[in-house]
Copies of this chain bind each other. A is one copy, B any other.
Amino acid sequence: MRDEWMIRGRVPMTKEEVRAVSVSKLELSPDSVLWDIGAGTGSVSVEASFFLTEGQVFAVEKKPEALELIEKNKEKFGRENITVVAGEAPQALEGLPAPTHAFLGGASGHMDEIIGLLLRKNKKVRVTANIISLESLSELLACLKKRQIEAEIVSMQTARSRLAAGHHLMMGQNPVYIISFGGEESPWAEEYS
């Protein structure tokens, strides 16, 4: 889904290419329960919600400005399966239905507690995180090592064309780490014969 379709304000938003890869890495099923933690504009919640024909998204966000945008995007895209949750993780997460999937969109400084909570709620939870600062990368790697979790780490850098005097100039975007772990065994993982 294009970035410009989203109502954005001045809240930072996951770029569409990173969002597409991140939602893909979540490996959602139609009945998944996704926690979108640090939901920002809600763009990941919206895109993921289209897969969840029988499931739900809980979009958790603390900033009032962002909460308003999530509500607006929920309405614009008509996503009744998104529940907006105001508050800070991990506290705001405690009362929610157990997640099958979680997306961590923003460096929080509470990564260890959040991952601890996710695993307590569902030890087979599938988690995908977007990491943009090197300190958050260190923090997440330390969390995973402590718990002996093996994650898939993908770094991704894109560039987008801008047309100037009939020439396509490629404009570099910021690199992102997309880190994923956990999840139920996929029915497609087995050898086919």
Contact = CB atoms under 8 A, between A and B. Distances in A.
Interface stretch (A93-101, A111-119, A128-136): A128-136
Contacts of A156: 17, 156-158
B7 A17 contact: no
Given A21-B21, A154-B17, A175-B172, A161 B186 contact: no
Contacts of A159: 154-155, 157, 172, 174-175
A137 interface: yes
Contacts of A164: 133
Q: Describe A's contact surface by its main secondary structure.
A: mixed
Interface residues of A, number: 55
Copies in the complex: 4
Interface in A25-79: 25, 27, 72, 76-77
A172 B170 contact: no
Contacts of A72: 192
Nearest to A187: B5
A25 B128 CA distance: 21
A173 interface: yes
A123 B142 CA distance: 31
B154 A157 contact: no
A5 B183 CA distance: 15
A19 B173 CA distance: 19
14 contacts: A2-B27, A2-B186, A2-B189, A7-B192, A17-B24, A17-B156, A20-B21, A76-B192, A138-B142, A155-B158, A156-B158, A157-B157, A157-B159, A172-B173
